[in-house]
Amino acid sequence: MLFGKYHIVIFTEGRSGSRNLRMRGWFGFIACVLVLALVACNVWLLRSWLETRHLGDDLRNADKTIEEQRRQLVNLVERISVVGRDLERVQSFDSKLRIMMNMEKDPTEAGSIGDRPGDFSRTYLPLHRQELAARKMLEFLTRLSESVRLEEVRQQDLLLALRENRDALSSMPTIWPVVGFVSSSFGWRSAPFGGRGQFHKGLDITNRIGTPIMAPAQGMVTLSGRDGAYGFSVEINHGSGIVTKYGHMQRCAVQEGQWVKRGEIVGYVGMSGRTTGPHLHYEVRLNGVPVDPMRYILE
């Protein structure tokens, strides 16, 4: 039958006559195979298209999930970074108090916490290396947890020392004598009136003339009046070898021998004496030696 001959007669409706087609058996077999192959191919293509469409949807959903996880990771990193900065401020505050209380440096005091997690968000996350960022963040959290534990121990020791030295703490110049812009810090600087550099013994805090100046701690006024290039000045002896000086004032508000409390007004910002503009010259001396006032100010 495969090699036989077949006649196919085709009649057209409404017309007379017919058409006669001759076809060998093997040709019909091949035609059927081709039709079946074409149908199978179309079915396979349709199935592949449907699967690809589902895969595309899954891929888009996965991308959305990854992006959401990335945003959550960035947010977590930023929050951890804030905690790390807060801890560093507490450690700085602790160190400053220890200096003020003449306590030895704690051998358990931690140094830098290490890489800030905020660096991870800039370095790793844009590259979608979230697994590496997560490991880095876990390492940072471990160091942060250890630093918090050590800081808690140090704070307990410091609290005991403060309880035993309340009077000494009340005599420490721990607050700003006036709010303003620090135009010149403690240390070497260019001479304001020209010439060679000079060592600045305090802080210059700029503000408007007439701004009140407050005592940063309790103590006895030992000087109130003109003092050469410092102009109208006040000196306060706080005990324990600590003396503070306030220069270039508009006028003094206290008298020599007067006892003042922390926050009490001792004078007003001016530009008396040798100065280039209105400001307060603020000095702290320890046993007669000028020291950086920022050593005592608790910000």
Residue 286 has pLDDT above 50, yes or no: yes
Tell me which of 150, 169, 188 is where a domain ends: 169
Listed range (85-89, 98-102, 251-255) with the worst mean pLDDT: 98-102
Specify the pLDDT at position 238.
92
Tell me which of 169, 191, 217 is where a domain ends: 169
Specify the pLDDT at position 74.
74
More confident position, 282 or 107: 282
Does residue 52 lie within any of the structural domains?
no
Specify the pLDDT at position 126.
52
Residue 287 has pLDDT above 80, yes or no: yes
Predicted model pTM: 0.55
- What confidence category does residue 121 fall into, taking pLDDT thresholds of 50, 70 and 90? very low
Q: Kindly report the CATH number assigned to the domain that includes residue 218.
A: 2.70.70.10
The reply to whether 193 and 165 lie within a common domain is: no
Cα separation, 266 vs 221, whole angstroms: 9
- What confidence category does residue 284 fall into, taking pLDDT thresholds of 50, 70 and 90? very high
Specify the pLDDT at position 138.
74
Pick from 76, 88, 132: which is nearest to 113 by CA? 88
User: Per-residue pLDDT tens for 153-172?
Assistant: 777 776 666 666 666 777 88
Residue 144 has pLDDT above 50, yes or no: yes
Average pLDDT for 208-223: 95
Cα separation, 68 vs 130, whole angstroms: 12
User: Per-residue pLDDT tens for 271-282?
Assistant: 998 888 899 999
Residue 87 has pLDDT above 80, yes or no: no
The reply to whether 101 and 145 lie within a common domain is: yes
Specify the pLDDT at position 105.
57
Instruction: Look up residue 77 and give its amino acid.
Output: V
Specify the pLDDT at position 276.
84
Q: Which two tokens stand for residue 126?
A: 């844009």
What's the domain range around 135? 75-169
Specify the pLDDT at position 26.
62
The reply to whether 84 and 115 lie within a common domain is: yes
Mean pLDDT score across all residues of the chain: 78
Q: Could you give the residue ranges of the DSSP H alpha helices within 165-265?
A: 166-170
Does residue 65 lie within any of the structural domains?
no
Does residue 285 lie within any of the structural domains?
yes
Average pLDDT for 84-105: 70
More confident position, 260 or 17: 260
The reply to whether 145 and 189 lie within a common domain is: no
The reply to whether 119 and 193 lie within a common domain is: no
Count the domains in the chain. 2
The reply to whether 271 and 196 lie within a common domain is: yes
Specify the pLDDT at position 127.
46
The reply to whether 92 and 191 lie within a common domain is: no
Specify the pLDDT at position 28.
67
- E-strand stretches of the chain: 5-11, 18-24, 181-184, 187-189, 198-200, 202-206, 212-214, 219-226, 232-239, 242-252, 259-260, 265-269, 279-286, 289-291
Listed range (71-75, 87-91, 128-132) with the worst mean pLDDT: 128-132
Residue 179 has pLDDT above 80, yes or no: yes
Cα separation, 43 vs 213, whole angstroms: 90
